[in-house]
Amino acid sequence: MTPLVVIRPEPGNAATLAAARAAGIEAHGYPLFAVAPRSWEVPQPDRFDALLLGSANVLRHAGAGLTALRGLPVYAVGDATAEAARAAGFTIATAGSGGLQAVLGELDAGHKRLLRLAGDERIALTPPPGVSIEERVVYASEARAMPPDLAELLREPAIVALHSALAAQHLSDQCVRNGIRRAPLRLAALGPRIAAAAGDGWGEVAVAAFASDHALLALARQMCQDPWPRGRTTK
């Protein structure tokens, strides 16, 4: 079985690693990012009808400023973010499954003014007619150099799970810096934008059927069992 390498930051790295191993995948975790809080100004809550959250990192790193916003219902990108929001005292309006843009299609009619709390690396959103989105950056992902043992692992065929466009770009840069050939490496990307950010020259770049860790691991498991891609759609 071809090994899977997970490079997302903690605590997501450990969660993906555990789920991968539970699915019978030979998986290795090497966080190439560390998430850190950013200073931000908390707006007046009465200017908004709801919060839009694209990551549980918001709840981990936004700090005391969240307290003033607890009266606002939350539209969360997925179940993990929704669970973190509930644990922080928020009420969940919707927990999506296909990315934040899809969540915007499930807005309550009375929720026209949204406050988006996000990281510095985020996708642009197109709000529905009559809906406004104001953003605050509350955390950032800081890239780390590839450790020597990961560089050695990637000199042999492997599959790398990519959870963000930033991760795809950083992996590409680190392969160049460490003289690692791309052709023996295959990438499992959470979405098309992430796959595009990886660039060219990889053995395969495949995209998960849905923007969820479960779907990404299902793809990775299939790739790990295949000695080489056979008929799978790539970017």
- The topology (CATH level 3) of 35-141 is Rossmann fold (3.40.50)
Under DSSP, the state recorded for 234 is B
Say what the pLDDT of residue 3 is.
96
CA dist., res. 68 & res. 84, Å (int): 17
Say what the pLDDT of residue 235 is.
45
- The topology (CATH level 3) of 4-32+144-225 is Rossmann fold (3.40.50)
Say what the pLDDT of residue 212 is.
85
Q: How many CB atoms lie within 10 A of CB 193?
A: 16
Say what the pLDDT of residue 229 is.
59
Structure tokens at 74: 């939350």
Which residues 6+ apart lie within 8 Å of 176 measured at CB?
none
CA dist., res. 146 & res. 170, Å (int): 9
Tell me: the pLDDT tens digits for 127-175?
999 999 999 999 999 999 999 999 999 999 999 999 999 999 999 999 9
Say what the pLDDT of residue 211 is.
81
78 in Cβ contact with 96 (< 8 Å): yes
Give every residue of the chain whose pLDDT is below 70, as ranges. Answer: 227-235
Label each residue of 173-216 as H, E or C: HHHHHCCCCCCCEEEEECCHHHHHHCCCCCCEEEECCCCCHHHH
Say what the pLDDT of residue 98 is.
74
Which part of the chain has CATH 3.40.50.10090?
A: 4-32+144-225, 35-141
Say what the pLDDT of residue 233 is.
45
Say what the pLDDT of residue 99 is.
83
Say what the pLDDT of residue 86 is.
97
